[in-house]
Amino acid sequence: MIFPMEGLLVGLNASFSHTNLAIRLLQAVARSPVDFLEFTINQEEALILEAILDRQPKYIFWSCYIWNMEKIRALSESLALIDPGLSQWLGGPEVSFDGQTFLEDMPWIQGVILGEGEVTFPKLLEALEGERSLREVPDLVYRERGRVHQTPFLNEKLPMDKMPRLDYQGEDLTHKILYYEGMRGCPYKCSYCLSSRDNQVRLRSTDLLKEDMGLLFRTGSRQIKFIDRTFNLDKARSLDILDFFIQEAPQGINIHFEVTLELLDPDIIHRLKKAPPGLFQIEAGIQTTSPQVLDHIHRKNDLKKAKEVMDSLDEAQKMHRHLDLIIGLPGETLDTFKKSFDDVYQLGPEKIQVGFLKLLRGTELRDRAPEFGIKYLNKAPYEVLRTDSLSGRDILFLKNFAHIIEDYYDDQVFKRTNGLLMALKGLRPSGLFWSLTEFLKEEDLVYAGRKGPRLFINYWAFIKNQVQDPEERAQVYEALKEDFYMAHNRYIGHVLDLDDQELPNRAIVDWLEDLGPQVQEAQGFSRRDISRNIRGIVLARQKKELLIVYKDHKYHCHFEREAKSS
């Protein structure tokens, strides 16, 4: 049975695996009973409306971000038409810097919480329950008797050590990502980022953080993401936390955090390299390597230092390293973007996220957009459409390019093929992926079959178009073949329609016997695995054979030997 609750917090996440930290924190600081519901932006509106109305709320509080604002606009308007007596409120980063405009555009909304909500929200609930006047609640824009009022903007902030502890009891989080804040604020002044408005960094004490994480480790979640802007801002604190994670984190969990590569101290690097494989995942925003563009957005990059750090981390081969670039920054041209991409590629990350500038409300760059000729969507997510140095067609082509990077670079599925193609054709990284984008765009394949074996079919079509010399094509095919078998437990001939037989079972059995029972036991396979989980391939031009072992349909390990002469 669902019991009615007067106050209802509602979060719309980008996908099923995400969780909304904000609504849980607000529920925890409330001094009166408040419930929450979570949905995704892809769910049917009717389903969401029905679930909300089943709770019979008197007040609804929407958690607003650029990715869900338009959906919230539609849902909240429908709710107002269905039940005009509902009192609906907005909060979150999307509405915090332009509350009056949202009330003008959405006449069915009663008010907006500005800035951080942990101090304001409990006071707002008291006002709604008649215990105080709305005028006594700071950081609020609200509608009363047909007029819009704004209370003093004090931007009241709860100290980080006063933030409530979340234990997620009663929630099934087995397939969910949890988000955690160890700090708020940012010391940097990047002109495109909302965090630049708050350079007062506040830290949660490490003792409390460890207690928090101990609870999160018991939730069943397999990934925890720190949303701190710079995890490694305080060296001693970072080392203490990393040591705790290495000692206490359960096996199989992954912890993601953002770092500034240039500030990654050798001692921190040493700790990261000591960690079990897969425990840590780091992300760093490079954004651009153009000095002029960096100057426009108030950033600095030290590529030499970044390269040293990335190389050092790569030695351990224990963690996923994720670097970001932004398209549409002021002064960025196609040529400077290509150079930035090549520079980042040389750093060797497992993923390059090519994103697009979003002109967020409250940021310096949104105010300065006319100065740089930046045109952008007039509704969330306010994404760039063109600039004074990138045309609209340039931006659209780069959208395709970003998809190609996601499909053919990220996670290193085509690592061998990409490297050999660049070497044979004398291409820079940007040149390879630019050509691949042009080809797949011409063949109308950029958005077709973006998963699994279909990517190999598309790439093989590109290779045949680009590589005419038979010997070179055979070399590239062999690299593609090795990439294929490292990614898929299936026969390549069923995908590329080629006659390229694997090693017969008898040869695999003999190889396993040569490896010996101790190796077999250590790797966790036996003869019974051969038909389903072990494949043998010949790479003739490399004069080697590979025995590849899969577990749960994924690559597990492989053995290599010199190819036997025919």
Instruction: Tell me the Ramachandran region of residue 216: left when phi exceeds 0, alpha when psi lies from -120 to 50, beta otherwise.
Output: alpha
- pLDDT number for residue 522: 66
Structure tokens at 547: 């025995």
Q: Which helix (H) or strand (E) segment is 419 a member of? A: helix 415-425
Residue 3 banded pLDDT, cuts 50, 70, 90: very low
Mean pLDDT value of segment 441-459: 89
Query: Helix or strand or coil: residue 387?
Result: coil
Residue 111 phi/psi, 5-degree rounding, is: -170, 170
What's the pLDDT tens digit per position in 276-287?
999 999 999 999
Residue 1 banded pLDDT, cuts 50, 70, 90: very low
Average pLDDT, the chain: 93
Structure tokens at 348: 């060797």
Q: Are 137 and 105 in contact (CB under 8 A)?
A: no
What's the pLDDT tens digit per position in 4-24?
458 999 999 999 999 999 999
Flag whether pLDDT at 391 surpasses 80: yes
Flag whether pLDDT at 198 surpasses 90: no
- pLDDT number for residue 316: 67
Mean pLDDT check: name the lowest of 5-9, 319-323, 514-518: 514-518
CA distances from 347 to 229, 314, 350, 417, 524 (A): 21, 10, 10, 18, 35
What is the per-residue burial (b if ≥16 Cβ within 10 Å, else e) of 132-168? eebeebbbbbbbeeeeeeebeeeeebbebeebeebeb
Q: Are 325 and 352 in contact (CB under 8 A)?
A: yes
* Structure-token match 């060296």, residue found: 235
Flag whether pLDDT at 191 surpasses 80: yes
Flag whether pLDDT at 177 surpasses 70: yes
**Residue 221 exposed, middle or buried by CB count within 10 Å (0-12, 13-18, 19+):** buried
CA distance 303 to 389: 24
Query: Helix or strand or coil: residue 189?
Result: coil
Mean pLDDT value of segment 220-225: 95
pTM of the model: 0.92
CA distance 553 to 489: 6
Query: Residue 522 CB: number of other CB atoms within 10 A?
Result: 11
Query: Helix or strand or coil: residue 36?
Result: strand
CA distances from 266 to 68, 229, 336, 402 (A): 40, 20, 31, 33
CA distance 459 to 465: 10
Residue at 510: amino acid letter: D
- pLDDT number for residue 317: 73
What's the pLDDT tens digit per position in 19-47?
999 999 999 999 889 999 999 999 999 99
Structure tokens at 386: 């063109």
Query: Which residues, including other chains, have CB under 8 Å from residue 187's CB and lie 6 or more apart?
Result: 199, 201, 230, 233
Specify the DSSP class assigned to residue 557: E
- pLDDT number for residue 155: 84
